[in-house]
Amino acid sequence: MLDLIVKNGSIVDGSGMPAYSGDIGIKNGRICQIGQITATAKNIVDATGKVVAPGFIDPHTHFDAQLLWDGYAKPSIEHGITTIVPGNCSLSLAPLKPEHRMKLVGMFNQIEEMPIVAFEKGVVWNWQTFEEFVERIRSNLSINVAPLVGHSALRLWVMGDAASERTATADEITQMQGLLRECLDAGAVGMSTSFVDVDEKMQAVPCRYANTEELDGLCAVLGEFGRIVQLVNEFYDADLTVARIDQLAELSLKYNIPTTFSPLFVNNGDFANVDRMIARVEEQSARGARVWAQVQTRPIDISFSFEVPSLLFMRLPSWYRLIRFGTPEEIVAAFNDSDARKKLIAEAAPMGEQWGALILRQVKHAKNQDLVGKTLTQIAELKDSTPLDVMIDLSLEEDLQAHFLSANLGHNDVEKVGELLAHPNVMIGASDGGAHILSFATFGDTGHLLGQFVRKAGLLSLEQAIRKITFETAAIWGIEERGLLQKNYVADITIFDKETIDRGPEYFVQDVPGDGYRYVRDAIGIDTVIIGGEISYQKASGYTDAQCGVVLPGKVA
Ligand SMILES: [Zn+2]
């Protein structure tokens, strides 16, 4: 007697081979039979008319904190994701000494827009080492987790405050190497670092003070384990990104490790630079280096209100200083002060068209309800005002709770993005799941891939797209026994309708500890998600309480 049979599906097995019809039998969490199965089973899932694929893998997330209060990493599983990689961009919550907790929380707050109150209300700080952190999240895990250890966390542990001040001594590098070895032994899938991010004081994060000896020394340790390094490149500068590609290639060749950089965006119309960066990846690949560019599927949309600092204002110093460091009262006072307001408007004016294109997406007062959905240009015409004045006036009227959407800021050329997604040296990822929770919903990127780029635009075949988000991702990250539907593989399976699969619209929910909000999306077309052989989610009945998620791929079983 089998535990579970998935009947009559169209099997897209993750290898890229054409789909075929069949049943999948599962026992003790693993696939034990594929084909026409006559055996009986305790449970049967009818997949007639549906695609049966390996569970999707999301290689770029920041669910580190959320996993402490939500072992499902909601709503990832309902979008078909069965494995997530947290700890990207140099930031992980372990190893972490008690005296550095608030420093790290500050970095998560600045870089990933995680509210500080969520850490205060949602986190019991009962770990220090990476092994203790792994034990902690394993206790109620429904999704599989392949955690990276952050370079900034390693530095902070070894160097304390000096981590944000100077290069490391030879002795400190040796200590970091030992610490990284411990983390990899305890289950880390690799290490992340960054050349871009800043902390809550707008100062470079600790890993940016590392010299080449330090990064080299840490990659040597990754080489002992054959594990990956993830790096945030200077995505806004093609020359610097090309230099990072070369640097990663040298590290890959020297230590025989896989490497990946994120993100690679298609900025509006700037195809020449995208082609240049990809050509460099191809050249390094031809030399035998393993360098993968991470590309996200969704266009860049950013929502904001003046209650929390938004990425959108990063390059406007007066605005950013005000919304990052000012209290709500100070922001209101500046908006009401005619001199301060004039100065702000003058600074923002050069980005003229962008303000007019903003859409008012949410208000709390009934009198402004009719304006929701209109652009600021439209509202400015109605009020005989300007878009920037309208943005400020509505924010004042709504006690800073007027929400605006800046849609399609870039990365929205379907043909060009599709061409990249199909490229053999591109890893589909960079979702940033669990981060930027007040700027956009980081969920549904795989639904968008299969809806927009496979079904509507036909730029990838279904088999090719599934291979990219299952087998290839597992292979790149060294996640064994997952990513394919084959005998003896672990039964992580996503069943969906290829005619409807997509991502739903973005909406606001209040489910973050400390009564906080975030943007989420529902999935469309996902029917059933199986993790470790157990049904974790079904469209008809919702989530189950199965806790079959494991920490991959470390020695801690
Ligand atoms: Zn990130």
- The whole-number pLDDT of residue 358 equals 94
pLDDT over 70 at 159, yes or no: yes
pLDDT over 80 at 253, yes or no: yes
Q: How far apart are CA 519 and CA 172, in angstroms?
A: 41
pLDDT over 60 at 269, yes or no: yes
- Give the pLDDT band of residue 118 (cuts 50, 70, 90): confident
As a whole number, mean pLDDT of residues 474-486 equals: 96
Instruction: Name the nearest CA neighbour of 481 among 69, 19, 142, 14.
Output: 14
Q: What's the gap in Å between 332 CA and the centre of ligand 1?
A: 31
Instruction: Name the nearest CA neighbour of 483 among 496, 474, 493, 494.
Output: 474
As a whole number, mean pLDDT of residues 467-484 equals: 96
pLDDT over 50 at 35, yes or no: yes
Tell me, rounded to whole angstroms, the distance of Cα 82 from its chain centroid: 14
- Give the pLDDT band of residue 165 (cuts 50, 70, 90): very high
Write the pLDDT tens digit of every residue in 273-311: 999 999 999 999 999 999 999 999 999 888 889 988 887
> CB neighbours of 75 closer than 8 A, spacing ≥ 6?
443, 520, 521, 522, 523
Q: What percent of the chain has pLDDT over 90?
A: 82
Q: What's the gap in Å between 112 CA and the centre of ligand 1?
A: 7
Write the pLDDT tens digit of every residue in 47-56: 999 999 999 9
Q: How many CB atoms lie within 10 A of CB 125?
A: 12
Q: How far apart are CA 192 and CA 176, in angstroms?
A: 14
- The whole-number pLDDT of residue 556 equals 38
As a whole number, mean pLDDT of residues 506-518 equals: 87
Q: What's the gap in Å between 89 CA and the centre of ligand 1?
A: 5
Q: What's the gap in Å between 355 CA and the centre of ligand 1?
A: 26
Q: What's the gap in Å between 60 CA and the centre of ligand 1?
A: 6
- The whole-number pLDDT of residue 557 equals 36
As a whole number, mean pLDDT of residues 310-325 equals: 88
pLDDT over 80 at 154, yes or no: yes
Q: Could you give the 3-state DSSP secondary structure of residue 426? A: strand
Q: What's the gap in Å between 430 CA and the centre of ligand 1?
A: 7
Strands 502-512 and 20-27: unpaired
pLDDT over 70 at 555, yes or no: no
Q: What's the gap in Å between 61 CA and the centre of ligand 1?
A: 6
Q: What's the gap in Å between 370 CA and the centre of ligand 1?
A: 36
Q: What's the gap in Å between 436 CA and the centre of ligand 1?
A: 9
Q: What's the gap in Å between 433 CA and the centre of ligand 1?
A: 8
> CB neighbours of 421 closer than 8 A, spacing ≥ 6?
295, 297, 428, 449, 453, 459, 460, 465, 468
pTM confidence score = 0.93
- Give the pLDDT band of residue 517 (cuts 50, 70, 90): confident
- The whole-number pLDDT of residue 463 equals 98
Q: How many CB atoms lie within 10 A of CB 353?
A: 8
Of 61-70, 153-162, 267-276, where does mean pLDDT reach its minimum? 267-276
Q: 189 with 147: CB under 8 angstroms?
A: yes
Strands 426-428 and 291-295: parallel
Residue 448 identity: H
Of 183-197, 509-523, 537-551, where does mean pLDDT reach its minimum? 509-523
Q: How many Cα atoms occupy the beta-carbon half-sphere of 461 within 13 Å?
A: 10
Mean residue pLDDT of the chain comes to: 94
Residue 440 identity: F
Q: Could you give the 3-state DSSP secondary structure of residue 311? A: helix
Q: 470 with 53: CB under 8 angstroms?
A: yes
Write the pLDDT tens digit of every residue in 198-247: 887 888 999 999 999 999 999 999 999 999 999 999 998 999 999 999 99
Q: Cα dist. 145→52, 72, 115, 407, 488 in Å?
A: 22, 10, 22, 31, 20
Write the pLDDT tens digit of every residue in 529-543: 999 999 999 999 999
